[in-house]
Amino acid sequence: MTEASPDTTAAQEPLPRNAEDYASVAFGAWTEGDEGLLVRLMTMEARQVLADASLDAAADWEFDRCEGAAGSTYCTWTGPDGTLTFRVANQDAGQGEEHAITETLVAGG
């Protein structure tokens, strides 16, 4: 009998159900290099901007703030190379849906 790989048998962890937690989990996945989780949390376009940015995930980052605007929440972190902001679709995040981060904004990196 062959043993099934954990990836095929384990249920995926539920995603956060509010925008701030959703962005925080994505930021943690980025700093830890968890590409699989980023694929679940972010649209392809948002991931591409993050991948193309010249920001150091291992740098000393500090959470700045989350602000809501027109159905989205923007959560920002500041690091030595600039700022990183995730735009989270509130409705999708509130339902624990995948790809609720629809945009990545980078300044200075």
Q: What gap in Å lies between CA 39 and CA 47, rounded to an integer? A: 8
Average pLDDT over the chain reads 90
Q: What gap in Å lies between CA 15 and CA 28, rounded to an integer? A: 13
Q: What is the pLDDT of residues 36-76, one digit of tens each?
A: 999 999 999 999 999 999 899 999 999 999 999 889 999 99
Which pLDDT band, with edges at 50, 70 and 90, does 109 fall under?
low
Q: What is the pLDDT of residues 65-106, one digit of tens each?
A: 999 988 999 999 999 989 999 999 999 999 999 999 999 999
* Nearest-10 Cα torsion for 77, 83, 29, 32: -100
For residue 42, what are the β-bridge partners? Answer: 101
- For the chain, the straight-line distance linking the first and the last C-alpha, in angstroms and rounded, comes to 51
